[in-house]
């Protein structure tokens, strides 16, 4: 009976995922090509940064995704810990490498921008350091997921790590307001309205949509393959035990 | 109370306590997390000549002076209340100019900040050059004054 219940939801999920997946891929490809075209050709150069400002069309959406993925991972971990929903741990585990990749991308593009603009690749200010900690949290989470033979114990331990690490997300967001940092404060999401010209804001938002759609697509791909792998494992176990 | 309700309350309480604990730690370490000091901090605290620290603010208008025949630059960093004289030898970043936010690292010796490194601090304004020109013409320009908060 318990087995039946565990399988009911993932099966329905697989069907739904199969339906959403091509749409997410289409949105991703279209918005990525429009967004890249706009950021290279229609968006103007910045009045003082010049052409280097174009790095932000990758850097800012990547940094948003880094925080977004961690938030999703922490929420899924909470659901997995409290309600023991079988899909929650799968989605948290599938999100981690994607979030880590976005964090890495944000750090690298930021560093490439920092050298010509600030005059340095890296400084240990609150924003940069807290984002580096976020990357380490992702890596630690993935390591912990892989460190247990028992899936249930791995899910529990890594869910606790994801929840504890969530404290870092508001720190990243508000680090530029709470402390003085080398990193500039938020331009788009802030109380007094955005301080970025519309001709530059649009390509940025379209790139953000592209990154979100990519996440939905890759998450579904990863979750589906994870669920299929689980099924295979259960079938193998049954075979071994002569079921 | 059902087991999952117990787990829910436990997670909420644990997260709240963790948040408070981290908040207290960050408040206690504020001195170390702050990346740079304002000119007012330097003037009021008067750090000793051996202490390495960072000074951040705007480059005061009309204060930049280059020594002829060398790479030494003198300028003043201000937060609109106090200003500190800085001298620096080396190559300045592209964004360095009067009215621009900068962060310098060095030592405060005899009332002059001897900087060994100068970084430009970019503000959060993004706009095309034509818009910047138009704003300057119409007198709506606030770009350079808004740079570093505090």
Q: For residue range A170-214, what is the model confidence (pLDDT) as tens digits?
A: 999 999 888 888 888 887 776 666 778 888 899 999 999 999 999
From residue A236, give the alpha-carbon distance in Å to each of A147, A229, A231, A242, A243: 22, 11, 9, 10, 10
pLDDT, position A191: 63
Structure token pair of residue B64: 């930049």
From residue A6, give the alpha-carbon distance in Å to each of A11, A13, A230, A231, B135: 9, 12, 12, 11, 62
Identify the H or E element spanning B72: strand B72-78
- Per DSSP, helices labelled H in B29-103 are 30-33, 39-45
pLDDT, position A1: 38
Structure token pair of residue B129: 């050059």
Structure token pair of residue A239: 């075979």
Question: How many degrees, rounded to 5, is the angle at CA A183 between CA A177 and CA A184?
Answer: 65
What residues of chain B lie within 8 A of the CB of A200, using their CB?
Answer: 126-128
What value does the mean pLDDT take over residues B119-144?
72
What residues of chain B lie within 8 A of the CB of A177, using their CB?
Answer: 149
A195 touches chain B (CB under 8 A): yes
For residue B4, the chain A residue with the least C-alpha distance is: A82
Those of residues 42-61 in A touching chain B at CB distance below 8 A are: 44-49, 53, 56
Query: HSE of A52 in the Cβ direction (CA atoms, 13 Å)?
Result: 15
Shortest alpha-carbon distance between residue B34 and chain A (Å): 5
Question: Taking a C-beta distance cutoff of 8 angstroms, is the pair B40, B84 a contact?
Answer: no
Question: Taking a C-beta distance cutoff of 8 angstroms, is the pair B39, A180 a contact?
Answer: no
Question: Taking a C-beta distance cutoff of 8 angstroms, is the pair B70, B90 a contact?
Answer: no
pLDDT, position A98: 97
Query: Above 90 in pLDDT, residue B135?
Result: no
Those of residues 59-78 in A touching chain B at CB distance below 8 A are: 78
Neighbouring residues of A15: CB distance < 8 A, sequence distance ≥ 6: none
Q: Which pLDDT tens digit goes with each residue over B41-87?
A: 888 888 888 888 888 888 988 888 888 888 889 999 988 888 899 99
Query: Above 90 in pLDDT, residue B4?
Result: no
DSSP track, B83-142: EEEEEEESPPPTT--TT-EEEEEEEEETTEEEEEEEEEE--S-B--HHHHHHHHHHT---
pLDDT, position A190: 67
Judge if ipTM > 0.90: no
Centre a 10 Å sphere on the Cβ of residue B71 and count the other Cβ atoms it contains. 11
Measured between alpha carbons, how far is A18 from B8 in angstroms, rounded to an integer? 32
Positions in chain A whose pLDDT score sits under 50: 1-4, 7
DSSP A41: I
A180 and B56: CB-CB below 8 Å? Answer: yes
From residue A189, give the alpha-carbon distance in Å to each of A193, B3, B55: 7, 39, 28
For residue A122, count CB atoms less than 10 angstroms from its CB and return exposed for 0-12, middle for 13-18, buried for 19 or more.
Answer: middle
Measured between alpha carbons, how far is A138 from A217 in angstroms, rounded to an integer? 20
Comparing CA positions, the residue from A17, A72, A35, A64 lying closest to residue A210 is A35
Measured between alpha carbons, how far is A80 from B4 in angstroms, rounded to an integer? 11
DSSP A44: P
pLDDT, position B3: 85
Structure token pair of residue A65: 């995704």
């Amino acid at each position: 009976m318990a087995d039946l219940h565990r399988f009911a939801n993932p099966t329905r999920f697989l069907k739904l995922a199969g339906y959403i997946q091509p749409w997410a891929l289409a949105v991703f490809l279209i918005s990525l090509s429009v967004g890249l075209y706009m950021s290279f050709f229609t968006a103007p150069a910045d009045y003082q940064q010049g052409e280097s400002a174009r790095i932000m069309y990758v850097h800012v959406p990547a940094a948003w995704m880094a925080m977004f993925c961690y938030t999703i991972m922490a929420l899924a971990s909470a659901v997995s810990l409290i309600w023991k929903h079988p899909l929650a741990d799968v989605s948290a585990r599938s999100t981690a490498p994607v979030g880590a990749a976005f964090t890495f991308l944000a750090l690298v593009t930021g560093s490439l921008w920092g050298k010509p603009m600030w005059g340095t690749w890296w400084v240990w200010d609150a924003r940069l350091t807290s984002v580096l900690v976020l990357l380490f949290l992702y890596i630690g989470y993935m390591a912990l997921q892989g460190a247990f033979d028992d899936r249930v114990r791995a899910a529990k331990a890594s869910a606790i790590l994801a929840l504890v690490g969530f404290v870092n997300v508001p720190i990243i967001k508000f680090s530029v307001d709470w402390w003085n940092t080398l990193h500039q404060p938020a331009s788009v999401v802030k109380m007094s309205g955005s301080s970025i010209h519309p001709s530059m804001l649009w390509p940025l938002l379209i790139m953000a949509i592209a990154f979100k759609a990519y996440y939905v697509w890759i998450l579904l791909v990863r979750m589906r393959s994870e669920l299929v792998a689980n099924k295979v494992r259960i079938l193998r176990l049954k075979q071994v035990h002569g079921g | 109370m059902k087991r999952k309700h117990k787990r829910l309350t436990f997670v909420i309480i644990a997260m709240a306590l963790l948040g408070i604990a981290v908040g207290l730690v960050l408040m206690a370490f504020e001195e170390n997390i702050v990346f740079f000091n304002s000119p007012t901090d330097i003037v009021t605290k008067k750090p000793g000549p051996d202490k390495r620290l960072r000074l951040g603010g705007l480059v005061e208008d009309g204060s930049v002076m280059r020594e002829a025949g060398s790479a030494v630059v003198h300028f003043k960093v201000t937060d609109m209340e106090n200003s500190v004289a800085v001298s620096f030898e080396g190559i300045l970043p592209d964004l360095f100019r009067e009215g621009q936010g900068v962060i310098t690292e060095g030592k405060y010796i005899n009332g002059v900040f001897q900087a060994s490194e100068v970084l430009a601090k970019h503000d959060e304004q993004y706009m095309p050059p034509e818009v910047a020109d138009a704003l300057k013409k119409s007198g709506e320009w606030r770009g350079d004054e808004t740079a570093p908060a505090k």
